[in-house]
Amino acid sequence: MKLVTGIIQPHRLDDVKSALEAAGIRGMTVSEASGYGRQKGHTEVYRGAEYTVDLVPKVRVEVLVDSDDASAVTEVIVKAAQTGKIGDGKVWTTSIDDVARVRTGERGEQAL
Protein backbone atom coordinates (compact mmCIF):
# COMPACT_ATOMS: atom_id res chain seq x y z
CA MET A 1 0.00 0.00 0.00
CA LYS A 2 1.15 3.49 -0.77
CA LEU A 3 0.23 7.00 0.28
CA VAL A 4 0.42 9.49 -2.57
CA THR A 5 0.74 13.05 -1.25
CA GLY A 6 0.45 16.03 -3.55
CA ILE A 7 1.18 19.63 -2.59
CA ILE A 8 -0.52 21.71 -5.27
CA GLN A 9 -1.67 25.21 -6.11
CA PRO A 10 -5.01 25.85 -4.38
CA HIS A 11 -6.67 26.87 -7.63
CA ARG A 12 -5.85 23.48 -9.22
CA LEU A 13 -7.73 21.50 -6.56
CA ASP A 14 -10.99 21.15 -8.48
CA ASP A 15 -9.23 19.82 -11.57
CA VAL A 16 -7.14 17.38 -9.53
CA LYS A 17 -10.21 16.12 -7.73
CA SER A 18 -12.13 15.59 -10.96
CA ALA A 19 -9.19 13.86 -12.59
CA LEU A 20 -8.77 11.50 -9.63
CA GLU A 21 -12.47 10.71 -9.64
CA ALA A 22 -12.34 10.05 -13.40
CA ALA A 23 -9.41 7.69 -12.77
CA GLY A 24 -11.54 5.67 -10.37
CA ILE A 25 -10.15 6.94 -7.09
CA ARG A 26 -12.97 6.90 -4.57
CA GLY A 27 -11.52 8.75 -1.62
CA MET A 28 -9.00 11.38 -0.68
CA THR A 29 -8.07 13.74 2.13
CA VAL A 30 -7.63 17.43 1.37
CA SER A 31 -6.14 19.97 3.73
CA GLU A 32 -4.81 23.51 3.61
CA ALA A 33 -1.07 23.81 3.80
CA SER A 34 1.50 26.54 3.55
CA GLY A 35 5.07 26.47 2.45
CA TYR A 36 7.50 27.34 -0.29
CA GLY A 37 9.93 25.72 -2.65
CA ARG A 38 11.85 27.31 -5.49
CA GLN A 39 9.03 29.79 -5.81
CA LYS A 40 10.07 31.42 -2.52
CA GLY A 41 7.60 33.87 -0.95
CA HIS A 42 6.09 37.14 -2.04
CA THR A 43 6.00 40.66 -0.64
CA GLU A 44 3.05 42.52 0.83
CA VAL A 45 3.00 46.24 1.62
CA TYR A 46 0.95 47.69 4.48
CA ARG A 47 0.97 51.48 4.81
CA GLY A 48 4.34 51.57 3.12
CA ALA A 49 5.91 48.83 5.27
CA GLU A 50 7.06 45.92 3.13
CA TYR A 51 6.75 42.39 4.49
CA THR A 52 8.21 39.30 2.87
CA VAL A 53 5.76 36.47 3.24
CA ASP A 54 7.76 33.24 3.00
CA LEU A 55 4.96 30.77 3.35
CA VAL A 56 2.54 30.62 0.47
CA PRO A 57 -0.88 28.97 0.72
CA LYS A 58 -1.02 25.48 -0.83
CA VAL A 59 -3.37 22.53 -0.78
CA ARG A 60 -2.36 19.04 0.29
CA VAL A 61 -4.12 16.09 -1.36
CA GLU A 62 -3.57 12.64 0.12
CA VAL A 63 -4.68 9.42 -1.52
CA LEU A 64 -4.21 5.87 -0.18
CA VAL A 65 -3.79 3.39 -3.02
CA ASP A 66 -2.77 -0.13 -3.87
CA SER A 67 0.99 -0.26 -4.49
CA ASP A 68 0.50 -1.02 -8.19
CA ASP A 69 -1.59 2.12 -8.73
CA ALA A 70 0.74 4.64 -7.08
CA SER A 71 2.62 5.62 -10.19
CA ALA A 72 -0.55 6.07 -12.26
CA VAL A 73 -2.20 8.18 -9.56
CA THR A 74 0.91 10.33 -9.29
CA GLU A 75 0.71 10.95 -13.01
CA VAL A 76 -2.97 11.87 -12.80
CA ILE A 77 -2.26 14.45 -10.09
CA VAL A 78 0.76 15.91 -11.89
CA LYS A 79 -1.15 16.28 -15.15
CA ALA A 80 -4.15 17.91 -13.53
CA ALA A 81 -2.17 20.23 -11.29
CA GLN A 82 0.38 21.41 -13.83
CA THR A 83 0.40 25.00 -15.04
CA GLY A 84 4.07 25.07 -16.00
CA LYS A 85 4.80 28.01 -13.72
CA ILE A 86 7.07 28.02 -10.71
CA GLY A 87 5.17 27.11 -7.55
CA ASP A 88 3.13 24.22 -9.00
CA GLY A 89 4.11 21.95 -6.12
CA LYS A 90 5.30 18.38 -5.65
CA VAL A 91 3.88 14.87 -5.44
CA TRP A 92 5.54 12.06 -3.50
CA THR A 93 4.78 8.51 -2.53
CA THR A 94 5.41 6.78 0.77
CA SER A 95 4.95 3.16 1.80
CA ILE A 96 2.23 2.34 4.29
CA ASP A 97 2.48 -0.57 6.76
CA ASP A 98 -1.16 -0.98 7.64
CA VAL A 99 -4.59 0.59 7.16
CA ALA A 100 -7.81 0.03 9.11
CA ARG A 101 -11.35 0.99 8.07
CA VAL A 102 -12.90 2.37 11.21
CA ARG A 103 -16.52 1.37 10.43
CA THR A 104 -15.87 -2.34 9.88
CA GLY A 105 -12.47 -2.96 11.36
CA GLU A 106 -11.18 -4.34 8.01
CA ARG A 107 -7.39 -4.26 7.72
CA GLY A 108 -4.77 -3.93 5.03
CA GLU A 109 -5.76 -3.83 1.38
CA GLN A 110 -9.33 -4.70 2.35
CA ALA A 111 -9.58 -1.28 3.92
CA LEU A 112 -8.54 0.69 0.83
Kindly list the residues in this chain that would bind other proteins in the complex (CB under 8 A).
44-51, 53
Between 53 and 100, CB nearer to other proteins: 53
Shortest gap between Cβ of 13 and other proteins (angstroms)? 23
Shortest gap between Cβ of 12 and other proteins (angstroms)? 25
Between 45 and 102, CB nearer to other proteins: 45
Q: Distance (Å, rounded) from C-alpha 63 to C-alpha 29?
A: 7
Between 50 and 98, CB nearer to other proteins: 50
Shortest gap between Cβ of 62 and other proteins (angstroms)? 20
